Structure formats: C-alpha cells, structure tokens
Structure 1
C-alpha cells in the first residue's frame, strides 16, 4: 500500500522520530541511505515558484540515484481544464512518485486520492509538512533530547507554516506558543489535530494574541512572511501584524541564548528586521540546508513502506 505525505499526521510519532534521528545519522555520515530511489522517476508538479523546495528535492533525488522531472502546471493539460483525477492517474502510469507544490490543499488531497504512487506535499495553502519535519530536525540537531523541554514561539500570521507547527508540536511532543493577531489565527482543524496528538505525546500548545507573552523566556522564536505567495498586498493585515515583528525589542523578552528561525524567503523589514535576520543567519541557512537531508530520509521511508 502506498504511503503519502500530504499532512504531517500521515506519519505517527514513532515514525516521525525515526525520520528525524535517521536524518542526523545520515547527515553526519554514520549511516547510509538505501538505494530505494535508484532508477526511479519522480515528478515535481509545481504551480507556485520555489527555490529551496525545488532545488532540495531535485538534488536529493539525484543524489539517491533517481531522476526528477520538473512539471509546471501551466505547461500541462491541467491549465486547459483536465480533471485532477485524470492527471493523477496519467502521471501514476509514467512515474514512481509525485511531489506537489500548489495553492489548494483540497486539490492536493484529490490528486493523492487518485494517484497510485506516493504523493508528497511540497506546500499548499494549508500545510507545509516537509518544512516542519526539517525544522524539527534542525532543533533536534541543536538540542538533542532536550528539544522536548525547550520553549518554541511562533510569532506572526496564522498561515500554512503556523498550521503545521501546531501538528508538529503534537506529533513530537513539543512546547509551542503561538502569537497571532485577532482574526489572523491558524486553522481550527490543524489546531485540533495538534491538540489531539498532544494528548498522546505530552506536547503543549498555547495560543495568544500577545507576542511578548509568547516569546517570554523562549529558547526559539520562529516567524514567516506575513503575505503568502499570490496574496494581494493587504494593508489592514500588515498593520495588524506590525506588533509581531521579530526585532531586538521583542527578542529582549526571550532568553539571552534565543535562536531565531525563518523558513524563507524573508521579507526583511516586515516580519523580521534585517539586523535580527543577519545575526541569526547561520542558523537560518542551516535550517534551509536541512531540507535536503530530511527529505532524503523522508523519501527513503515513504518508498520503502509503499
């Protein structure tokens, strides 16, 4: 039976920790990846622009002995109205897996339903599970087993990354504080999923509209852009989010040893100041690098289980 990775809850807590810990061993050269992708063809079906996601997946597939085909939706019959189910069934006859980055999570769920090969979510409007799997690895790489004891603060828009952080906190048993403005909070479905998982793993999820409360004594402060790709500039939303900017004043309430994370690309001067970004740039770009390592192990896991 094929294994998809459409949302973070498609893996259970034991599987999630296995992927994170094996990523560390592979990255550090203590273990080698299997040859499960050797000779396989994987399609990258993208609607949205991409730097880190596209390059990290293409390099990972290549380094694991597979072949990648980059497909832009606008160049496929999808752009002329072909049913998603027909595209999914067609591609399943040609390739051994499909990595999708698009606007609609509902579209991706429908695609995965009809595809007969593994499907990986490389970002939708609701969820970004590959990013969060990698982010948790980045924190585990720094904190090891103490990662369950640290305070993680997400500050800003309740977007797809925020949604997935809620699930990650529940899946891995982490302590997460989320600060978003009134009216711009995360999706209630993902919040419920994170809370349900926390009942089994011991995770803790706190929501507030006060950014200072969220970052007080935090070990890690995480932010993302305020306007997602394709969104029109919304001055009302930007005004609501300005108190949530990750700047020196906000970080003064966190631990002195605080680390700052950003999934990139950054809109410096909006969700984060350039000064803060550059101060933590080494950690932020290690976070970006780890997409490559984590996705290798994720693909190995999915294809060995399928």
Structure 2
C-alpha cells in the first residue's frame, strides 16, 4: 500500500507538472497571437488560436472592469462609426457602452444619416474612423477591400460573428471548458448558424443542426464546415429532425424563425417550422447538464416559457457577454493588449 501510494503520488506530481507546462505553453502561444489591424467579417477567416485569443481578451476585460472595478482607457482618442441598415438593440447598446467604457467615442449612424457608395465614397470615412457596418455581406467585403482601417461585421445576411463570440464565452464560463461539448442548433439555416458552423470545430465543439427542408444552411458554408470538422476531428451532423439533433447534446440553440424583412413569409414559415419549438420535451433526450441559448429577441413559438425562464437558460448571461466580446474584439483589432488573467480553459 505504501509503495502504491508513493507511486501514485509521484505520477500525480509528474502529471501536474506536465499539465502546468502545457498550460503555460498554451498561454505563451496565444499571447503571441496579434490581431491588430485585422478586420472581422466572418470567423471563417480566423484560426483556432485567434478565436481563443479573442475569447481570452474578452474574459480578461470582463474580469478587470466588472469584477475588479478597474478603468481601462484602452481606446482613448479613438472613434467608431456604427452604420446600421437594420435596427438592433443588443448590437447597438453593447457597442456604444463598451466602446465608451474603454475611453473611446462611438458614433451611431443610420442609412438616413449617410449614404455610403452614393453621396459618400468608401474612402471618405476611411482615414478618420473605425467602421461598424450592418450591410449585405458582399457590401462589407467591398468596403473591406477599399478600407485601410479595421471593418467589423455587426451582422450581415451571411454571418453574425460577434454573436458567436458571446455564445462561446458564455458556454466557456458555464461549463469551464469548450472542448468536447455538443451544440445543437434547432431552427432556421441563417447567419447565426453559419457563424456557429465556421467556429465550433475550431474550438473542439461538435455541432448538430436541425432545419426544416428548404431552410438548410448555405451550401458553400456547409461544405467549409464539413472540411473544418474533418480537420479538427469533430462531428457535424445535419438533419431535419429536431429530436435527433437534440439527442445527447449539451446545448440547445435556436433563433428567430421570421427575421426583419421576412414578415410576408411569416404564415408559411410558422407552418414549416411546426415541431421545432424547444421545450422540456426536446431537452429530455439531451444530456443531463443541457443548457439553452437564444440571441434574442425571442418569440414564444421558438422556445416555451418553461425553458426560456428556467435555470437551464443562459440567454441573459449570453446577452451581457455581447458587450464583453465586442469590447474584446475591438481592443484586439486596435491595440496590442495582453490579457492579465490566466488563459481560459478551452
């Protein structure tokens, strides 16, 4: 027994030393990642380490500002132009308050205030502002080609990268680690799903997707997601059966079935999405620790009250993290900031 315990103690000590060295090596690796000057149109363009660095910076800012009550004027003297083609509560509030909290000056502009490409050339704002756009994705790509400053996609018809950063920070905080989790998307094959598909595999997360027939994700995005899953050794499963997608999953996610501009399709969409509402019955086939995400605003047909207001629902933490992750993203694109907290466990 004595020999056995001594051997176990030695093994545990060696194991801990190896683990600590691996953690330090990982922190050093992420610490060397520099995103200054980059744009963020889609997380498709970011590597696994780059996404982890963004989440680490976001978690660091949240800890230092929210919990330690530190003032970090990292963006003092900088301005951001937030140009919106569609209304957005969380995107506008998280960006305005977050940018101000870091000492910068946010400028909110609507399509009535400015006409890029018509009365204003692409380059007329380029020399003075970081630009925040809500546009067709092709327009974002055109602007990024012309601009010499970082462009951030607040939401486009193809991707919603800032939402996914908030989602994964929320899951990292709740579960303590992301690697090996299974996320199930049950709903429309939209821009939020596309961003999940471009990100999950890079974080070691399995993804199961249930969409009604005719509402599948973009073909090109799907092909790239399969490639990423193969590269990173994760699963990507696409189905039209919500219960099949939910089975053995850690996280159930949905979004609006009727987005802005789709109001005329509402009656047909509600019929086509029948059976896709997330309820406790959906969760009954998931893992015992399952949680729920929704980027908001939520409607009753998408998820019932029993799930939405339950302890399994992380939607309000998720909404708060929109601010911390957009702050982390902007700081990473504009500065050489190094996180002060230990590296997050991924």
TM-score exceeds 0.5: yes
Aligned counterpart, 1:39? 77
Unaligned residue ranges in structure 2 (runs of 5+): 1-35, 337-346
Deviates more, 1:183-192 or 1:50-59: 183-192
Task: Tell me the CA shift for residue 33 of structure 1.
Answer: 8.7
Unaligned residue ranges in structure 1 (runs of 5+): none
Query: In the aligned structure 1, how far is the partner of 2:137 from the partner of 2:184?
Result: 25
State yes or no: 1:49 paired with 2:87: yes
Alignment of 1:252-263 (within 5 A): 252-263=284-295
Query: In the aligned structure 1, how far is the partner of 2:283 from the partner of 2:306?
Result: 12
Aligned counterpart, 1:131? 163
Task: Tell me the CA shift for residue 238 of structure 1.
Answer: 1.9
Which structure has the larger Rg over C-alpha atoms?
2
| 1:6–1:129 CA contact under 8 A, matched in 2 | yes
Alignment of 1:132-281 (within 5 A): 132-145=164-177, 147-234=178-265, 235-268=267-300, 270-280=301-311
Query: In the aligned structure 2, how far is the partner of 1:280 from the partner of 1:266?
Result: 17
Task: Tell me the CA shift for residue 282 of structure 1.
Answer: 5.7
Aligned counterpart, 2:151? 119
**Aligned counterpart in structure 2 of residue 22 of structure 1, from 39, 45, 57:** 57
TM-score for both structures, normalised by structure 2: 0.81
| 2:290–2:312 CA contact under 8 A, matched in 1 | no
Tell me how many residue pairs correspond in the alignment. 298
Query: In the aligned structure 2, how far is the partner of 1:35 from the partner of 1:202?
Result: 40
| 1:36–1:303 CA contact under 8 A, matched in 2 | no
Aligned counterpart, 1:12? 47
TM-score for both structures, normalised by structure 1: 0.91
Query: In the aligned structure 2, how far is the partner of 1:150 from the partner of 1:172?
Result: 9
Alignment of 1:56-71 (within 5 A): 56-71=94-109
User: Which structure carries more helix by proportion?
Assistant: 1
Distance 1:161 1:94, change over 3 A: same
Deviates more, 1:3-12 or 1:283-292: 3-12
Q: Please, what is the CA RMSD of the aligned residues? A: 2.2
Distance 1:281 1:53, change over 3 A: farther
Deviates more, 1:31-40 or 1:57-66: 31-40
Task: Tell me the CA shift for residue 36 of structure 1.
Answer: 4.2
Task: Tell me the CA shift for residue 61 of structure 1.
Answer: 0.6
Aligned counterpart, 1:100? 133
